Structure 1
C-alpha cells in the first residue's frame, strides 16, 4: 500500500483537534504539520510502528486462557503459561509463549497486560522468533475475550 502525501495531510487534519476560535491559522497549521510529519515517520518502511504492523502477518492466531505470568531471569522476557485445547503436540493443553524483553517498553507493557488478564480467555497473535540458540514464541498482540469459564 502506498501512502501519499495527501493521505498523510488528511490523516493529520482529522486526527488533531479542530482549529480553536482563539488560535491563529499559523498555529493551527503548525499543529497539522507536526502531526503530518509524525504520521509520515510512522508509515515509513523502517518505522518501528510499520514493522510491528507487518509482524502481525507472520503470526499464528489462536485462543487460550492466561494461567501464569513470570519474569524469565535469563532473558527478562515475560514467560506466559497458557491453557489451550489439548493437541498431539500438547496433550495436557499447556503451552508457553513469551513477551519481548521487559527492558523494552513494548515487552514490559505486554507483560503487564497479560498479567492483568490472568484467568481470562484471550485471542493471541504469536510469532516464532529465531535466534542463534533456537526459537522462541513471542506474543505480538492480545485481545481480551472476557473471563474464562470452567469449559475453558
Structure 2
C-alpha cells in the first residue's frame, strides 16, 4: 500500500475517534446551575408569585427566632436532608433557599441544582432579610 493511503486512513481514524469522544461527552446528563438572588429580589418574587417554594434550611432553634413568610422547613444538618427535599419539593417549580447568613443555603442550593431543581440561594440569608425588612 502506498504511504499516502495509510496516512489518509490514519487521519480518518483519528477524526472518527475524536467525533466519538465528542458525542460521548455531550451526552452526559445536564444539571441545572445554582443561582443567587438578593433579598430585595426575593421580596419581589414573594409579592408577585403565588405558591412560592421557599426552603429554610436552618435548625429548629433558629426557626424559633422567626422565618421568612411560610417556608418549607428542612434542617440541612438533620437526618436524610436529600430524602426530605425529594418528598416535599416540586422539581418543576423554582426553589428559593435561605439559612441564617448564606453558607448552608449555598451548599443546599448547589445540591438541589445537581439534582435538577431550579434553585436560588438567598444572599445574606435570614439576617439580611430581617435587616432589610425592619419596620
TM-score band w.r.t. shorter chain:
under 0.3
By percentage of residues, which structure has more strand?
1
By percentage of residues, which structure has more helix?
2
TM-score by length of 1: 0.24
TM-score by length of 2: 0.26
Task: Determine which structure has more spread, i.e. the larger CA radius of gyration.
Answer: 2
Structure showing greater relative contact order (alpha-carbon pairs closer than 8 Å, 6 or more residues apart): 2
